[in-house]
Amino acid sequence: MVKVSVFRLEHRAVRDKRISTHVALVARAFGADSIYYSGDKDSEMEKSVTDIAESWGGPFTIEHVDSYRKFIKDFKGEKLHLTMYGLPYKTELKQLDKQDKLIIVGGGKVPFEVYEMADRNIAVTSQPHSEVAALGIFLEHLSGEKKGFKNAKQVITPQDCGKKVVEK
C-alpha cells in the first residue's frame, strides 16, 4: 500500500500556527498517513494535531525534522512539490507511480533547491492561492474522498442543518 506523507516547509510558530495546523488537518482528513515539518519546533501545534487524530481517528502522526534538505533528500519515494509555478496537477496525476509519496507544501519563501529536489513540481492553479486549498484539492484527486476512520472516538452525522457529533 502506498503511504502518503505531507511535508510543511519551514514552519514559523508565531506566524504560521493556524495555517500549519490546517495543513495537518487537511492532510489527515484526506488520507495522508503523516505530516512532517521543518522550521520552528511547535509542541503546541503537535499536541493539537495529535489530539484531533486521537478523537477523530486515523493512522496519522506529526513529527518535526531539523533539516528540510536532509529529509527531502533521504525520502524514499516520489517527492511532489505543490507550487503555483508547477505543471497542471490533472496531467501530473496520470504520471505518478505506485511508490510512497511526499507532498511538499511551502511556508515562507520556498528556496529554489526545493524545486530541484522535487521529482515533480505540481500546480493546482497557476494563480496565488493557499497551500491548504492546494493540498486538499490535490489529495482529494490523488486518493479520493475519505469517509471516516474506523478508530474514531467521534463521528459527525451529516444533516441539512445544525451539528450532530456522536461519541463512539
Please determine, for residue 15, whether its predicted confidence score (pLDDT) is greater than 70: yes
With left for phi above 0 and alpha for psi between -120 and 50, is residue 52 left, alpha or beta?
alpha
39-83 pLDDT, tens digit per residue, is: 999 999 999 999 999 999 988 999 999 999 999 999 999 999 999
Which residue has better confidence, 11 or 143? 11
- C-alpha 24/C-alpha 80 separation (Å) is 16
* Residue recorded with cell 484531533: 52
- What does the block give as the cell for 100? 510512497
Domain of residue 123 covers: 4-167
Mean pLDDT confidence for 4-25: 94
Mean pLDDT of the chain: 94
CATH number at residue 58: 3.40.1280.10
- What does the block give as the cell for 68? 528540510
CA separation, residue 64 to residues 10, 43, 79, 94, 140 (Å): 10, 9, 18, 31, 25
108-123 pLDDT, tens digit per residue, is: 789 999 999 999 999 9
Mean pLDDT confidence for 11-33: 94
- Model pLDDT, residue 146: 66
124-135 pLDDT, tens digit per residue, is: 999 988 999 999
Helix (H, G, I), strand (E, B) or coil at 156: strand
Domain total for the chain? Answer: 1
- Model pLDDT, residue 52: 95
- C-alpha 123/C-alpha 149 separation (Å) is 29
Within a 13 Å sphere around the CA of 81, how many CA atoms are in the beta-carbon half? Answer: 21
